[in-house]
Structure 1
Amino acid sequence: MNPFLSRDGVIADDAGVIAHAGNPVSEQRRLESGSAIAPRADRTAIRLTGADRKSWLDSITSQALTTLAPGDSTELLVLDPQGRVEHAAAVVDAGEELWLIVDAGDAAPLVKWLTMMRFRADVQIETPEGVQVIGAMRGGAAADALVDAAVRVGEVPVVWADPWPSVTAGGWQYAEAAEHPGTGYHWIEAVVADAAPLADLPLAGSLAVDALRVAAWRPRWAAEVDEKSIPHESDWLRTAVHLNKGCYRGQETVAKVHNLGHPPRRLALLHLDGSDSVLPEKGDVVYDGDEEAGRITSAVRHHELGPVALAILSRRTPADRELVVVAGEDRIAAAQEVIVPADAGRTADIPRLTRLSRRKQVDPPTVD
């Protein structure tokens, strides 16, 4: 099923995830230009059928789905009752079917949860065999070939266009960058049954895919999510949460933090000192002086930015502070680039009543 693993120079793990095909830096450039494809053995496709598929999924997740039209793409989160992220999925409306594309480690747990939540809804959930997920950047011949090779439901190709380049309807962006790096991140993923027509295209591995993702400040379930994650701290309200839809599990926390509070942690891009050629790993601790400030979630070598990482930091960590990442025996200096600011949230325009003790003292009028 996977004609790519036998290519010369391909390095893959036991699960078939290709790390690189000989030169990760060149692969980034080819991927960015739209001339390479990236087989995603670390991604899994799930198919939903049945008359209630959209209204049912809308009612239990963070995204508004009932208005999707054939060919539309979006993404959703499944939250626990306290608003913490449990699952994340890309969504493609394929007409008579709804397809989800998820990180492979989340596929079985998500299918189990969806099955438990089905009750009497007319929905069928399956993980089709004999298909794989392949990614590319829009705007080149590789993406065109990928769309042509995609599974079709009627005339609709099962191709997910990542919504990250802009804030989606009902979403909200916390990042205050004048030009968000995600605006140029035109990533697509296709569900493919026969990859043979793509076998001769240039390949890019997961190292190249992650480098472009990190540079775009794009969160991912397999990397940025832990047991405490809420969508606000990774700026995931931007594309995965509809703030004006009806109720769903975790919605109260989403609204409360966004309108009245601040997320306790914040996503930042760290520019790492590359003089020792050491790259941290997911989970490595970030220090502000002697105090733990957070942890690395993704670390990559970008072809232009050099060694960079995404990290989840405490909101209390000053944005201008030089940090240190401890990677084994190595200490790596890191400079912050703010993604989610410390004052994110508290968007509700609620009048603040002046406390009685702080009211200006007014002398009583004099009487002649």
Structure 2
Amino acid sequence: MPRRRGGKAVTDLPGADNDQDVPAHRGDPLAEQRAMSRGAGVVDRGHRGVIAVTGPERLGWLHLLLTQHVSELPADSGTEALVLDINGRVLHHMVVAHTADTVFLDTEPGDVPELLDYLKKMVFWSKVEPRDATAELAVLSVVGPDTADVLAAAGVAVPERPHGALALPGGGLVRRMGWPGADAADLLVPRDTQAAWWERLTAAGARPAGTLAFEALRVEALHPRLRVDTDDRTIPHEVGWIGSAVHLTKGCYRGQETVARVANIGRPPRRLVLLHLDAGDETLPVPGDQVQRDGRPVGRVGTVTIHHELGPVALALVKRSVPVDAELTAGEADRETPARIDPTSYAPEADTPPPGRAAQLGLR
């Protein structure tokens, strides 16, 4: 029987099929979360897309297109970046890694065709060659405070800094991350060696885990996911991507005017928060549902999950004017769930959310 929390089966979460091409769990999603919070787990995220950019002008060319400062990105390093539309709304999010003579961009599942089409249209006379490398590389994520020990036991050199990247023996790369858990690393491994790498990492001490556990810790860390926690109006300031994925003083890129205007003279209209859902046997909301206050829409629901310590929770974009202690509901009229904002998930004086609740309370 699936384990339950707050009357809900963890494996029956709304939106759990967003990652239907990879295992949602390995038998016990809550235990997998605990392993990633206190030790280490490994998750198959091989459904993510990967774009490889080669050519002598790769960094300068990408610098003109992305929101992040990458013109002088050193080898064996990385970052996060966005592509915006002309109004500053987020179209694409990617994790960037620069090793040897290639820049790798890994993206949300299914995002490569549209993003690659845009990149190819912007080549003009630049000496660059962007290509779809999804069939070549698969993403495996090791998550938890014991990540460095697991990688060392697996014979993998550990990058020293967040987003640091190093080539793997036999091809691919390892990139250190700061989310979704206390520590994490992504391995982009050749697809024909994916099974061997999985066995190597589990033998080194990483518990096999699924995307449900990964997503729960991502929600706790307040790290948004494109098109689940964002909509077609989202600007970077609303979801905490300023700094991590947007450089405020770099040169021109599409949508920069909106980014600069909001950063310099205003505040974003919405903010990303963690919602606690008071759900018994009621149906949980799904991504895209309304958040309401006194019967009026004040936001939208993003990722919904069941956390091993916090219970049913969700990320949500709500109007900045909504008080932190407001009584809210989440879901449509026939399945509304009482909801409240976690006060530790939002600092009123800042445009970027603070670290996740468990980290603040010293639970890790």
Q: State the TM-score bracket (shorter-chain normalisation).
A: 0.7 to 0.9
Q: 1:328 and 1:147 mapped to 2: Cα distance?
A: 51
* Mapped pair 1:132 → 2:138: yes
* Mapped pair 1:122 → 2:119: no
Once the two structures are TM-superposed, the CA of residue 48 in structure 1 deviates from its matched residue by: 0.7
Q: Could you tell me which amino acid in structure 1 is paired with residue 182 of structure 2?
A: Y
Aligned partners of 1:77 and 1:86 also within 8 Å: yes
Alignment deviations for residues 17-63 of structure 1 (CA, whole Å, 9 cap, x no partner): 21111110011122234432100133111111000111110111110
Please say which of residues 14-23 and 120-129 is displaced more in the overlay: 14-23
Q: 1:216 and 1:306 mapped to 2: Cα distance?
A: 15
Report the counterpart of residue 99 of structure 2 in structure 1: 94
Aligned partners of 2:168 and 2:174 also within 8 Å: no
Report the counterpart of residue 188 of structure 1 in structure 2: 185
Report the counterpart of residue 36 of structure 2 in structure 1: 31
Structure 1: gaps spanning 5 or more residues: 1-8, 165-181, 346-368
Aligned partners of 2:286 and 2:331 also within 8 Å: no
Aligned partners of 2:167 and 2:174 also within 8 Å: no
Q: 1:39 and 1:254 mapped to 2: Cα distance?
A: 34
Once the two structures are TM-superposed, the CA of residue 143 in structure 1 deviates from its matched residue by: 4.0
Q: 2:97 and 2:170 mapped to 1: Cα distance?
A: 14
Instruction: Determine which of 15, 20, 28 is the counterpart of 2:25.
Output: 20
Once the two structures are TM-superposed, the CA of residue 95 in structure 1 deviates from its matched residue by: 2.1
Q: 1:147 and 1:327 mapped to 2: Cα distance?
A: 48
From the CA coordinates, give the structure whose radius of gyration is larger: 1
- Number of positions where the alignment pairs a residue of Structure 1 with one of Structure 2: 318
* 1:244-263 superposed matches below 5 A: 244-263=249-268
Structure 2: gaps spanning 5 or more residues: 1-10, 159-164, 352-364
Once the two structures are TM-superposed, the CA of residue 277 in structure 1 deviates from its matched residue by: 6.0
* Mapped pair 1:52 → 2:57: yes
Q: 1:223 and 1:187 mapped to 2: Cα distance?
A: 22
Q: Could you tell me which amino acid in structure 1 is paired with residue 142 of structure 2?
A: A
Q: Say if 1:296 and 1:65 are closer, same or farther in 2 by CA, change over 3 A.
A: same
What is the TM-score with the length of structure 1 in the denominator?
0.79
Report the counterpart of residue 162 of structure 1 in structure 2: 177
Once the two structures are TM-superposed, the CA of residue 337 in structure 1 deviates from its matched residue by: 2.3
Q: Say if 1:45 and 1:146 are closer, same or farther in 2 by CA, change over 3 A.
A: farther
Once the two structures are TM-superposed, the CA of residue 262 in structure 1 deviates from its matched residue by: 1.4
Q: 1:15 and 1:269 mapped to 2: Cα distance?
A: 24
Q: 2:113 and 2:228 mapped to 1: Cα distance?
A: 17
Q: 1:63 and 1:101 mapped to 2: Cα distance?
A: 15
Q: Could you tell me which amino acid in structure 2 is paired with residue 322 of structure 1?
A: E
Please say which of residues 336-345 and 119-128 is displaced more in the overlay: 336-345
Q: 1:328 and 1:210 mapped to 2: Cα distance?
A: 26
* 1:1-368 superposed matches below 5 A: 16-128=21-133, 129-137=135-143, 139-140=146-147, 141-144=149-152, 145=154, 147=156, 152=167, 158-163=173-178, 185-193=182-190, 194-200=193-199, 201=202, 202-276=207-281, 278-327=283-332, 329-338=334-343, 339-340=345-346, 344=350
Q: 1:341 and 1:291 mapped to 2: Cα distance?
A: 24
Aligned partners of 1:71 and 1:157 also within 8 Å: no
Q: Say if 1:328 and 1:300 are closer, same or farther in 2 by CA, change over 3 A.
A: farther
Q: 2:77 and 2:275 mapped to 1: Cα distance?
A: 34
Q: Could you tell me which amino acid in structure 1 is paired with residue 138 of structure 2?
A: Q
Q: Could you tell me which amino acid in structure 2 is paired with residue 107 of structure 1?
A: V
Aligned partners of 2:171 and 2:189 also within 8 Å: no
Alignment deviations for residues 159-205 of structure 1 (CA, whole Å, 9 cap, x no partner): 232356xxxxxxxxxxxxxxxxx7x6323211111123334423211
Please say which of residues 30-39 and 243-252 is displaced more in the overlay: 30-39
Aligned partners of 1:35 and 1:143 also within 8 Å: no
**What secondary structure sits across from 1:297 in the alignment?**
strand
Aligned partners of 1:301 and 1:308 also within 8 Å: yes
> RMSD between aligned alpha carbons?
2.8
Q: Could you tell me which amino acid in structure 2 is paired with residue 49 of structure 1?
A: T
Q: Say if 1:264 and 1:146 are closer, same or farther in 2 by CA, change over 3 A.
A: farther
What is the TM-score with the length of structure 2 in the denominator?
0.80
Q: 2:328 and 2:285 mapped to 1: Cα distance?
A: 13
Alignment deviations for residues 291-338 of structure 1 (CA, whole Å, 9 cap, x no partner): 111111111111111111100112222222011112573221111125
Once the two structures are TM-superposed, the CA of residue 232 in structure 1 deviates from its matched residue by: 0.3
Q: Could you tell me which amino acid in structure 1 is paired with residue 184 of structure 2?
A: W
Aligned partners of 2:285 and 2:336 also within 8 Å: no
Please say which of residues 187-196 and 299-308 is displaced more in the overlay: 187-196
**What secondary structure sits across from 1:111 in the alignment?**
helix
Alignment deviations for residues 245-287 of structure 1 (CA, whole Å, 9 cap, x no partner): 1111111110100110111111111011132264321111111
